Amino acid sequence: MTEPAADTVPPILPPATIGILGGGQLGRMLGTAARALGYGVRVLDPDIDCPASAVADRVEVGAYDDVSAAVRLASGCAVITYELEHVDAALVDTIVTSGVPVRPGARALRVTQDRIAERRFVQDAGVAVAPWRPVTTGDDDALDAAIEELGAPIRLKAAFGGYDGRSQVRIATDRDRRLAWMDLGRPPGRPAIVERELRFADELSVIVARSVSGTVVPWCCARNVHDQGILVESEWPAALPEAVQADAAAIGTRLATGLDLVGLLTVELFLMPEGDLVVNELAPRVHNSGHATIEAAATSQFEQHIRMVCGLPHGDPAPLGSAAMVNLLGTGVRRPARLAGIEAALAEPAAHLHLYGKRDVVERRKMGHLTALGPTTGDALATARSAAERLSWMP
Ligand code: ATP
Ligand code: MG
């Protein structure tokens, strides 16, 4: 199932069709970039009206482990990629066996969808992670021992299936400890990790793009702010000492090479008070913290990912200016998504609105984002926030 040597792999050229496993907002923005380059786009998603359906020639309706739907998708595509790491790895193997390459590939998927495998991979690559222990849900003795060794507060994270801060709980008090298994919401006997909570100075992310021939090109780091585990704001490029940017690029390059992936790798990082970097988690894909590259980089993360999976040369990752992105999260009870205040928000001429076309608004669901440019990332952030404040979801 390995691909032939890189220099013998011909590029996939437009008007070939690219298949995307997952039709959410990342699939939609990948599809938009693919279309701009002249490619066809098909997606696999359980929902025929998924966000990416607006830019897809066809939506293959199926779950992320529906092998027959995936094979149907692949039969019309020259290459397959994914917009989320919670795709069944065996499904990816089946597609590869059918003769259609999947990039970044099954290995990157297997490692990054399992927090335990991911932590081990990062450590084995000689890159720092927070001190951690594997545990099994329901095993009180192991949890107590891990908390004792690592020292509270700690984070208990399910090994599989987490995103946007779901599938993890913070344990700071005895009460948290008593409720931990219930709050984690996993049945007994499942793999999980316990990890020391770090007092970081900042959260950063670095995105790197690795080509079929193994060349890695990084973007500058983003500085990210999370609220209850969900990304709310990013500044790009983060104002950081040159040495930190270089460390982050080196970490991204080493990990992307170690995974042998083709496409993008996002590395979420903690910047510690002394300036050292600790890896939080990996995503073998485009990432929410890279959205500002659409307006603020010579090449966006979406275009670059399409270039990589098609075997084309890298675009220039250089910043064109200073930018900030604010996520538009849903609020209130589930209801049809109607956004008020769009004209007022766009009266801010430096602000750019992206809406993902989700039919229903749901509390804390990622519905869209706003990116602004400015003289500094701080100015850009103030502009993006001020535009976002003028928006609200109608009752
Ligand atoms: P996503 O996949 O959307 O990034 P996730 O559910 O996989 O989210 P993590 O990235 O593990 O979750 O954690 C989400 C956020 O919680 C982090 O960005 C950070 O703000 C906080 N966090 C997680 N682990 C730690 C830790 N060990 N120390 C301090 N903060 C942490
Ligand atoms: Mg994360």
List, for residues 331-351, the tens digit of each pLDDT value.
Answer: 999 999 999 999 999 999 999
Q: Cis omega (within 30 of 0) on the bond before 4?
A: no
Concatenate the DSSP letters of all residues of 95-154 into one string: HHHTT--BSS-HHHHHHHTSHHHHHHHHHHTT--B--EEEEETT-HHHHHHHHHHH-SSE
Residue 114 CA to residue 133 CA, distance in Å, equals 14
pLDDT tens for 19-34 read: 999 999 999 999 999 9
Residue 1: the pLDDT is 47
Would the CA dihedral through 374, 379, 381, 384 be positive or negative?
negative
Instruction: Tell me the pLDDT band of 297, cut-offs 50, 70 and 90.
Output: very high
Q: What residues contact residue 317 under an 8 Å CB cut-off, 6+ apart?
A: 209, 217, 218, 219, 220, 293, 297, 298, 299, 304
In a domain, 117, yes or no: no
Dist. CA 329 → ligand 1 center (Å): 18
The CA–CA distances, whole Å, from 225 to 163, 202, 231, 248, 352 equal 15, 8, 6, 18, 20
> Do 207 and 352 fall into the same domain?
yes
CATH number at residue 290: 3.30.470.20
Q: Tell me which residue range forms the domain holding 41.
A: 6-102
- pLDDT of 166 higher than 90: no
Domain count, the chain: 3
Dist. CA 196 → ligand 1 center (Å): 12
In a domain, 177, yes or no: yes
> Do 93 and 78 fall into the same domain?
yes
Pick from 160, 183, 280 the residue to mutate for probing ligand 1's pocket: most ligand atoms within 8 Å of its CB: 280
Lowest mean pLDDT among 166-175, 278-287, 328-337: 166-175
Number of residues that this document lists for the chain: 395
Q: pTM higher than 0.85, yes or no? A: yes
Pick from 147, 281, 329 the residue to mutate for probing ligand 1's pocket: most ligand atoms within 8 Å of its CB: 281
> Do 192 and 209 fall into the same domain?
no
CATH number at residue 157: 3.30.1490.20
CATH number at residue 79: 3.40.50.20
Cβ of residue 317 lying under 6 Å from some atom of ligand 1:
no
Instruction: Tell me the pLDDT band of 4, cut-offs 50, 70 and 90.
Output: low
Residue 337 CA to residue 357 CA, distance in Å, equals 8
Mean pLDDT of 315-319: 98
Residue 6: the pLDDT is 55
Mean pLDDT of the chain: 96
